[in-house]
Amino acid sequence: MTIPGDEMFNYSANREIESSAKVKALEALLIEKGVLSSSSVDKILEYFDTKMGPFNGAKLVAKAWKDQEFKKLLLNDCNSACEQLDMPTGMSGAEGEIMRVAENTSSVHNLIICTLCSCYPWPTLGLPPYWFKDPTFRARSAREPRVVLSEFGLELESDVEIRVWDSSGQIRWWVLPEQPEGTSEMSEEELAALITPESMMGVSKVVY
C-alpha cells in the first residue's frame, strides 16, 4: 500500500508490516498480563472503523457544500455543526474537544499541521497518517508550505495565499475544501464519496 508522502521522508518500505507486528506483540502481552481483553481491543477498532473517521468529515463537508447556513455554522462553531448532524457520541471529545475549520477558496488554500506533536481531529478525519507526525513534514510545512504541497503533487498558482494552521492540545484544525466544478447537482451522499482525508488536511484538492 502506498501512502501519500512516504517517498518524501524515507520510511522503511516494510514499516507498516513491522509496526503491525510490534502492535500485535504488545497487544498479546497486555492480554496475557490481564491489562486488557481481546474484546476491548476489537471494540476500539470497531469504533474507529464505524464511528470515528474521515467519513464524518466528508459528511460535514458535503452538507456545507449544499447548505450555506450549515456552512456558516461549520465555520463558526464546528462542534455545534457536528451536534446538528447527530454525529456519534464523543465527537466533542477524544481529540475533538474544540475543532475549527478553515475554508479553501480560489484565492486561499489552507494546510493543517501540528508543529508540537501530532494533534489531529480524530472525530472528523480518523487517525493521522505516518507522515503527518513526521518532524520533517511538520517543520517544512511551517517553513515552506508551497514546496511541500508541490511534492504532494498539488501545484498552486503563485497568487494563491497559503495559510498554515497549527493544531494544539486545545484546538484541532481541519480544512473545508473547495467544491469541484460540475458537482452542484450531486446529492450529499455522492459528494461525500469524493472527499478524501488528504483534501481535509489541505495536501490535496477534491477531484471530480
User: Which residues are tagged catalytic?
Assistant: 114, 117-119
Indicate the Cα dihedral angle 7, 12, 18, 23, nearest 10°: -60
Q: Are 105 and 178 in contact (CB under 8 A)?
A: yes
Polymer length of the chain: 208
The region that residue 153 occupies, defined by phi over 0 for left and psi between -120 and 50 for alpha, beta otherwise, is: left
> How far apart, in Å, are the Cα atoms of 125 and each of 53, 139, 181, 196, 200?
5, 21, 24, 9, 8
